[in-house]
Structure 1
Amino acid sequence: MILEQITEPKQIQALTVSELKILAKEVRSRIVEVVSKTGGHLAPSLGTVDLTIALLHLFDPLKDRIVWDVGHQAYSWKILTGRNAQFDTLRQYKGLSGFTNREESPYDAFTTGHSSTSISAALGIACARDLNNEQGHCIAVIGDGALTGGMSFEALNHGGHLQKDKFIVILNDNEMSISKNVGGLQKYMARMLASKSYNVLKKQVWDFSYTLPANIRRSFIYGAQKLEESMMNILVPNIIFEDLGFKYVGPIDGHDIEQLLKIIKRVKNFMVGPVLIHIVTQKGKGYPPAEKNSELFHGTGPFDLKTGKQISDGKQTWSELMGSTLITLAQKDPKIIAITAAMTAGTGLTKFEETYPDRFFDVGIAEQHSVTLAAGMSTKGLKPFVAIYSTFLQRALDQIIHDVALPKLPVVFCIDRAGLVGEDGATHHGAFDLSYLNFVPNMIILTPSTAEELSAMLFWAASYQEGPVAIRYPRGTAIHSSVHKSLTNFNPFPAIIHSNKGKIALVACGDAFFTAEAVHNLLAKDKIPAQLIQLLSVKPLDENTLLSLASTCNYIFTFENNAVIGGMGARIAQLLATEPVKIINFGYPDHFIAQGKNSELLDEIGFTPNKLYKQIVQTLNE
């Protein structure tokens, strides 16, 4: 086993090509073995094994900084940069992160988790390198999906303008849309474009142009550029990168290690400003189930290693419930539109897309665009439902404020994965949406705790035309209530009073209500009466009920699955600031929460019924 002998990346530089190919197989086996137990981003990481090995064979990852976009394709990077022995802890509590993380390893050049950031980050590192008079290459690895994010093009535009040497962008095209182009002619063109002789000749032609009179020089340069562009348009795709100021090389078979080494080595050794290397890979490479269904294995839970069959309890998730309810609404109202940002399956909209393909829009990884697209639709009388994970929606805050809330457009935001999301960790926890939406005027924020409440809120929001509505719900299995909330005559604004006895009150929203309910039961066992209040609407608040509590209670304890700063409890404290009642907020602390099972993370931050109960009792006894 070659892999077992690799303890640091510099050992890879001494391997032969045949040994590198064996290493690639061993790394893929290791990834599949671990992810089948831990879950994770399998297909993307299997597709970049050969590229990872080529980069580590040619570069020093401490001097040459390599930035992986998102980081979900960097499992082989973790394995080969000294973390193989720990790889079984991937995405586990106090284990390895599922993404690159500077605190985890000096080989991780940038902490990632969201897409479309790598080119900006690598360009920033390149600028700092030059200002610090340092050496080394700066390399961004980005997938074709992440390239749909506008930030990527902003960075490409700026990178082309700066013309930094030793700055390389590797475009990992894993959609196979141009796989037919990876043939002999294209391999020849890739080698030619990366060759020293071609680039010396190009420079000589350019230098020669300066000897010509100005009026002739312009025509000469224009003709030469058109000749080169015509050749490349015939033989090479994506001429746009050349127009942006990058030297384009490719497309290259991303699973041909020998070819990768030849091309990347050539690019490494010439100085022609920024270079974009276009490689074509296959998601799930080396594991047949993932090759056949790369979307399913993009981000997967545990699965059977032999068959690839997913391990699931088969219960309906919150996302699936949202999607099925939206189909029901769309059957009645032809103006209802569904929008998502590269998360069709993740947000439960797969069946909606199949049922209403003309009323479904997946905009790619472009959250800002999705929000303003919805705003434009709503000005023409359509009713857009924008389904995006909480952690990704925060990328579109300006569009929410300026393009939707300011003009009071009736867009519905279905905020998936609100609260902790377990093993995906700090970059993906939906810990801030209540905070970043609370300060937005004209915004209504609803927080269901049960499946029935979510359905009722979606029905209500479908007919609301006075402005935007945000409905936040957690990841995982939808909780059904024995008390069905009617879909007709539903009013989300009055608080639900589950208990009205006692001099203390427990006020909760969303799925944090069940935590508050459990605390209420523990207090009852100690014969400590407490009022139990559930808020379906966080904005607007039921001010009458809260003011009534302030006049009858000594303490109000709030419960929410969101950061305490700026959340529901903070708004209640602000509302009741002049009242004599004492308000104590329970939620997420003012630090980023790492990965692990939700039960482990909640216990760590003290957000469990037993720990909260003890805090309340201690407070009452002070």
Structure 2
Amino acid sequence: MDLLSIKNPKFLKKLSNNELEKLSSDIRQFLIEKLSATGGHIGPNLGVVELTVALHKVFDSPKDKFIWDVGHQSYVHKILTGRACDFDTLRQYKGLCGFPKRNESEHDVWETGHSSTSLSAAMGMVVARDLKGTKETIVPIIGDGALTGGMALEALNHIGHEQKDMLVVLNDNEMSIAPNVGALHNVLGRLRTAGKYRWVKDELELLLKKIPAVGGALASTAERVKDSLKYLLVSGVFFEELGFTYLGPIDGHNYDNLLENLRYAKKTKGPVLLHVITKKGKGYTPAETDKIGTWHGTGPYKIDTGDFVKPKATAPSWSSLVSETVRRIAREDKRIVAITPAMPVGSKLEGFASEFPERMYDVGIAEQHAVTMAAGLATQDMKPFLAIYSTFLQRAYDQVVHDVCRQNLNVFFGIDRAGLVGADGETHQGVFDIAFLRHLPNMVLMMPKDENEGQHMVNTAIQYNGGPIAMRFPRGNGIGVKMDAELTEIPIGTWEVLQEGRDGVILTFGTTIEMAKEAAKRLAEQNISIRVVNARFIKPLDEKMLKGIFAENLPVMTIEEAILQGGFGSAVLEFAHENHYHNAVIERLGIPDQFIEHGSVSSLLEEIGLTAANAAEKLKKMIPLKEKRA
């Protein structure tokens, strides 16, 4: 079938199951080919082809609402709703988003990039539907990994209590990004092997109805037999005890099973949970045989071999640098315990886990629990290292405030993917962590200029006993500097001058240091001398150096790959105000007050003006102000 000709999913109503299977094959081939060029979340999407097609055949989007949890498995949905022609631009600047996007299509009713939000959103839509008196079906589709998130469990509890009509589709592929962990995962494991509970229960009910009535005693006994059947067939019956009608488990790649159960669920009153077993990466051998999450989301690859197409790394990845330095120190310091919320592969903790399995904890998609668990460890004089992405730390803000900072506990936060990450877009751009951490009492926040300074910062964080400390680091690889053999400690709150200058100062850190150097070079060609400072401690500031800069009456530019409101530049402004440097000339460059969409990091930086050329131009305009005051 010509997928590019699809305008909406209505055509599915007329297709036979054999035709649906042919369509599924075409969709898989299309995804494998397109994603080999653009990269993207291939594993999740190959796994939900039949499920997505079946949903669109049975229900009527956009009247009926599909809510994709996390959203990285929505590519098939996008194809069926008329966006196949845009896949050459997937995750590229101004191109097709890799997640549901409400302004892309009326069929995208909920935007997400983080897990465990679909059930709560669905409950809101169900309440709105019932208050308005409309009849649409609300269908959240949630994975077994996302179901372990605390927010999802809160929503399950509420949905079961309210008993409103809703179909929850549990897409169970036994993995999120990495293999799932936890007791709930074990419950699902028992359900997978329990057989078709609903059909057996229904057949027994039909049999009981055929028995002639012989009094209330037999009727009550029969009801007890029927109700207790679930305990014989399904260990725990977790979902039914929460108030759901549980259907399944069923084969998520079999149209007979899918369509029959979806139609049954559509007619069932109250909340229904349809448990669908799928194979992540189905139809493409490298993705289908992946056991650790490598093919969850990828860059471009060679279709025939599965080899990834990327330049040869000249330096270790930042995630690896940080985790391996922690591992190195852990050989001597037995207090170190590593924690990750379902990201052992992304955070490159496999080596630590292999060497210290008793000191490595993957807690699943449970960021709040991860932070407070780290706090509990710290109260017992352990040294917890929490490896967590910047945007995932947002999900545990209260725990950072209430459980860590308030008690001034020695927790080391390794904040991965800090700054712009590019193709994943708005939900994953790590630009808010400075603003939401800097104002917290007791917090130390830092970012290294290169991987050598990075390893020393890791050591500094572990040796620090003054309370919580966080190190930001970007996505991708280091720049290839020479690494010191011995680890040292960096004095907390100290900056370093990278190059001297007499006419102005740039204060920056991390990924934007090279931008600052380039801006200074451009101005040097115009006989303007700029001092470049590695302001590696975002909190506390190097007050001694700042006082010296303001005493020299030098204009100051701050540059940060982070949101400006409440960021590092704001801290410098606050310092100038509090210390009565009222004539100070300060300009800030950073992320403006907006969400940054997907695209290459270079394209995004250019769009928002966070470039060496713009920095040089603005700084040049500041210099005459200094001369006029002199």
TM-score bin (small chain): over 0.9
Maintained 8 Å contact 1:456/1:485: no
TM-score w.r.t. the length of structure 1 is 0.93
Tell me by how many angstroms 1:89 deviates.
Answer: 1.0
Maintained 8 Å contact 2:6/2:79: no
Maintained 8 Å contact 1:190/1:252: no
Q: Which residue of 1 aligns with 2:295?
A: 297
Equivalent-residue separation in structure 2 for 1:106 and 1:285 (angstroms): 28
Maintained 8 Å contact 1:69/1:117: yes
Q: Which residue of 1 aligns with 2:27?
A: 27
Q: Which residue of 1 aligns with 2:198?
A: 190
Maintained 8 Å contact 2:459/2:489: no
2:619 paired residue among 606, 616, 620: 616
SS in 2 for 1:429: coil
Tell me by how many angstroms 1:611 deviates.
Answer: 2.1
Maintained 8 Å contact 2:58/2:259: yes
The yes-or-no answer on 1:280 pairing with 2:277 is yes
Taking structure 1 as reference, are residues 220 and 490 closer, same or farther at Cα in structure 2, changes over 3 Å only?
A: farther
TM-score w.r.t. the length of structure 2 is 0.91
Maintained 8 Å contact 1:182/1:253: no
2:262 paired residue among 254, 261, 264: 264
2:590 paired residue among 587, 603, 606: 587
Q: Which residue of 2 aligns with 1:174?
A: 173
SS in 2 for 1:248: strand
User: Could you tell which deviates more after superposition, 476-485 or 105-114?
Assistant: 476-485
Q: Which residue of 1 aligns with 2:493?
A: 493
Aligned partner letter, 2:458: L
Aligned partner letter, 1:110: W
Matches within 5 A, 1:349-388: 349-388=349-388
Tell me by how many angstroms 1:171 deviates.
Answer: 0.6
Maintained 8 Å contact 2:503/2:623: no
Q: Which residue of 1 aligns with 2:444?
A: 444
Equivalent-residue separation in structure 2 for 1:13 and 1:200 (angstroms): 34
SS in 2 for 1:488: coil
Maintained 8 Å contact 1:43/1:298: yes
Aligned partner letter, 1:70: V
The yes-or-no answer on 1:468 pairing with 2:471 is no
SS in 2 for 1:354: helix
Tell me by how many angstroms 1:192 deviates.
Answer: 5.3
Tell me by how many angstroms 1:369 deviates.
Answer: 0.4
| CA shift digits 1:502-548 (9 cap, x unpaired) | 23211102221221111111111111112211111111111111122
Tell me by how many angstroms 1:144 deviates.
Answer: 0.3
Task: Specify every segment of 5 or more residues in structure 1 that has no aligned partner in the other structure, as ranges.
Answer: none
Q: Which residue of 2 aligns with 1:76?
A: 76
SS in 1 for 2:423: helix
Aligned partner letter, 2:612: P
The yes-or-no answer on 1:605 pairing with 2:605 is no
Equivalent-residue separation in structure 2 for 1:238 and 1:318 (angstroms): 43
Equivalent-residue separation in structure 2 for 1:255 and 1:237 (angstroms): 25
Matches within 5 A, 1:93-132: 93-132=93-132
Tell me by how many angstroms 1:5 deviates.
Answer: 4.2
Equivalent-residue separation in structure 1 for 2:324 and 2:274 (angstroms): 42
Aligned partner letter, 1:112: T
Tell me by how many angstroms 1:554 deviates.
Answer: 4.1
Maintained 8 Å contact 1:284/1:297: yes
Maintained 8 Å contact 2:190/2:235: no
Q: Which residue of 2 aligns with 1:336?
A: 336
SS in 2 for 1:249: strand
Tell me by how many angstroms 1:199 deviates.
Answer: 9.7
SS in 2 for 1:454: helix
Q: Which residue of 1 aligns with 2:248?
A: 250
SS in 1 for 2:427: coil
Maintained 8 Å contact 1:71/1:100: yes
Query: Taking every aligned residue pair, what percent have the same amino acid on both sides?
Result: 43
Equivalent-residue separation in structure 1 for 2:223 and 2:610 (angstroms): 64
Equivalent-residue separation in structure 2 for 1:449 and 1:198 (angstroms): 69
User: Could you tell which deviates more after superposition, 344-353 or 2-11?
Assistant: 2-11
Taking structure 1 as reference, are residues 486 and 550 closer, same or farther at Cα in structure 2, changes over 3 Å only?
A: farther
Task: Specify every segment of 5 or more residues in structure 2 that has no aligned partner in the other structure, as ranges.
Answer: 176-185, 626-630
Equivalent-residue separation in structure 2 for 1:522 and 1:483 (angstroms): 29
Tell me by how many angstroms 1:344 deviates.
Answer: 0.6
The yes-or-no answer on 1:548 pairing with 2:532 is no
User: Could you tell which deviates more after superposition, 374-383 or 386-395?
Assistant: 374-383
The yes-or-no answer on 1:235 pairing with 2:238 is no
Aligned-pair RMSD on alpha carbons? 2.6
Equivalent-residue separation in structure 2 for 1:24 and 1:518 (angstroms): 51
Maintained 8 Å contact 2:118/2:140: yes
Equivalent-residue separation in structure 1 for 2:534 and 2:601 (angstroms): 22
Taking structure 1 as reference, are residues 124 and 180 closer, same or farther at Cα in structure 2, changes over 3 Å only?
A: closer
Q: Which residue of 2 aligns with 1:596?
A: 599
Aligned partner letter, 2:171: N
SS in 2 for 1:445: strand
Tell me by how many angstroms 1:483 deviates.
Answer: 8.5
Q: Which residue of 1 aligns with 2:393?
A: 393
Equivalent-residue separation in structure 2 for 1:235 and 1:192 (angstroms): 9
Q: Which residue of 2 aligns with 1:14?
A: 14
Tell me by how many angstroms 1:119 deviates.
Answer: 0.5
| CA shift digits 1:142-170 (9 cap, x unpaired) | 000001100000000010111112x1111
